[in-house]
Amino acid sequence: MTRHDDDKQRRLDQYRVAPEGELTTDQGVRVDDTDNSLSAGVRGPSLMDDFHLREKITHFDHERIPERVVHARGAGAYGHFQVYRPLTEYTTADFLTDPSARTPVFVRFSTVAGSRGSADTVRDVRGFATKFYTRQGNFDLVGNNMPVFFIQDGIKFPDFVHAVKPEPHNEIPQAASAHDTLWDFVRLQPETTHMMMWLMSDRALPRSYAMMEGFGVHTFRLIDAQGRATLVKFHWKPLLGVHSLDWDETQKIAGKDPDFNRRDLWDSIEAGDFPEYELGLQFVPEDEVLEHGFDLLDPTKLLPEEDVPVVPVGKLVLDRNPDNFFAETEQVAFHIANLVPGIDITDDPLLQARLFSYLDTQLLRLGGPNFPQLPVNQPVAEVRNHHRDGFHQMNVHQGETSYHKNSISGGCPALAGEGAFTHFRERVDGEKIRKRSETFENHYGQATLFWNSMAAWEKDHIVAAFRFELGKVTRKEIREGVVAHLTHVDHDLAVRVAEGIGVEPPKAAAVTNHGRSSPALSQANGRAGTLKARKVAILAADGVDSGDIAAVSEALIDAGATCEVLAAKDGAIRAANGGQVDVTRALPTVASVLYDAVLIPGGDDSVHALTSDGDAVHFVAEAFKHCKAIGALGAGAGLLERAGLPANAEGVVTGTRPAGDFTETLTTAIAAHRHWTRDTASIPA
């Protein structure tokens, strides 16, 4: 741990309150009874003299603060970032120019549409917000897991959020985009088309936060020591690769474990399987803002990696869970205008509105202007200014002055010289108008690029998503309007969607598909898989071959997976050799959707019991339906047969012995994440 980390830790430690010791009031008065109110006799009225009762109830009545309007449901973690090499040719930002600096960070992941009480696995955009506690001050990279956004101008943000939120007359549906108001907005706003393609893709269903990309969305500027600017796009690339869940699976997870993603983040860090990401940057010369076939200031467009490579520049590691969810994850306050020297904004009209919105939001949500003093928001850089008073002021300012200029305090705090933040110098002029730039007009070209870039199975999932979402829309004219937009993206896409939602398919393509693609956009072309953070369910009963379990689980655990033995009841089961096998969880308390793969060990008695257990049969059939790897040893293949599953299907591994080819082949199958090309149409749900 560096001195930089020590400083941040020390500042946080001064606010930590350990549970050990005697109970007191807020004033430090020790309390001997907190179960009974002070009353006039054992059956008499409670007395106003009971200051402990009044303090306790009053604090409870005021424990809730307004939740975020968007990104209300989240999970967070601390970690650190370290740049690989000095980027001095681009920026003066200290954390990007000093490879010896290990910059502390706090990252908050979130869903956009739902309330704090909604589920993790809904179809939605995910927030990926990073607070860098740099030596020059806090820098907040407030992004999403998709590189584009729904709208081009921030003045439309309230309209979009109102449309995607539950409908106002009945507050339904919660945390879902499959309803009339959102799709009515989409139908009437062609600029949403590209983002809706991403939202209907598997990118909206991440397997975990550790397997999810992050994007800064906007185009920013990096400024070097001579004041020269380079346009930049920020990317977070997960080292585990980018992987998603199945839509049917996500809906079931929402019932079985609505905290699925946040639990995975917490458990992974506690187990030492720290989520890791590379920071990648796309560099574009300032004079090339219009040279890539679109306007780089348009937030509904992405910069294809094949045109401008993403350069890995540093690594982010999340290695510590928060001590208190409310104090840290809920009270962390991100602001896109939290910039440091060497990083500046552009004239992106959505970005410009966000510069106002975030600060304005925190003032209400956190009760006043002093929220930067909350421990999770405090910079490691020293803070000196003339801000005074207000709700929750925690600093005790010394001296007689709180203004600039002054002579009484020797002019302090003094204006900074070298190293101060300076805005990029550029000429700005023009007439006051309300008009969108003509360079923002192409709303369909990149939506087509995204569609063309998808593998066949990804396209199938997108079509199914449009059919599900629009199938929930009650007004036929809205469904027809969306299909009309899709004809401008791809004729085959529009026809396939129309055929599933009861509207007339378009007779001819509105425009010809331009045929261009960006392979980097497809998860099929992503980083090679690993077993790290994978969960494997081992189905077993009395009479199981414990040797099978030991041999295979040892190999899987060595490769980074977690293995859990599931049986009909908790406790232990009898092994075929007379020993016993400890049960991790009772089968009725879990489901296949909570695991990445299934192993069925041998043992005639065990397999016979499993084939007679409806939960076990459903477990393996459902895992197959969701394209997961399944391994069956010896008699274990009987459970596959009982579930009506083909033993020779892609991702299904059978064998008679756990050693050698079986374990190696199963490991490879699990590392592939899913076998999406497997035919599951005839398999029972």
- Phi, psi at 473, each rounded to 5°: -80, 125
Round to whole Å and give the CA distance between 531 and 668: 9
The residues carrying an active-site annotation are: 71, 144
Query: How far is residue 514's CA from residue 508's CA, in Å, rounded to a whole number?
Result: 15
- Give me Rg for the CA atoms of the chain: 28
User: CA dihedral defined by 399, 405, 407, 408, rounded to 10 degrees?
Assistant: -20
Rounded to an integer, what distance in angstroms lies between the CA atom of residue 366 and that of residue 392? 9
- How far apart CA 171 and CA 448 sit, in angstroms, is 34
Element (H, E) at 238: strand 229-238
Cis amide bond preceding 173, omega within 30: yes
DSSP labels, 126-193: EEEEEEEEETTEEEEEEEESSSS-S-SSGGGHHHHHHHHSPBTTTTBSTT---SHHHHHHHHH-GGGH
Q: What are the backbone angles phi and psi of residue 75, rounded to the nearest 5°?
A: -145, 145
Q: How far apart are CA 167 and CA 178, in angstroms?
A: 11
The Cα–Cα gap between 594 and 590 comes to: 7
Spatial CB neighbours of 29, under 8 Å, sequence gap ≥ 6 = none
Tokens representing residue 47 in the block: 């007395």
CA nearest neighbour of 573 among 586, 592, 557: 586
User: What 3-state class would DSSP assign to 678?
Assistant: coil
Element (H or E) spanning 466, and its range? Answer: helix 456-471
**Rounded CA separation 288/270 (Å):** 45
Alpha helix (H) residue ranges in 512-613: 546-558, 604-611
Q: What is the DSSP code string of 367-397?
A: TSTTGGGSGGG--SS----S---STT-----
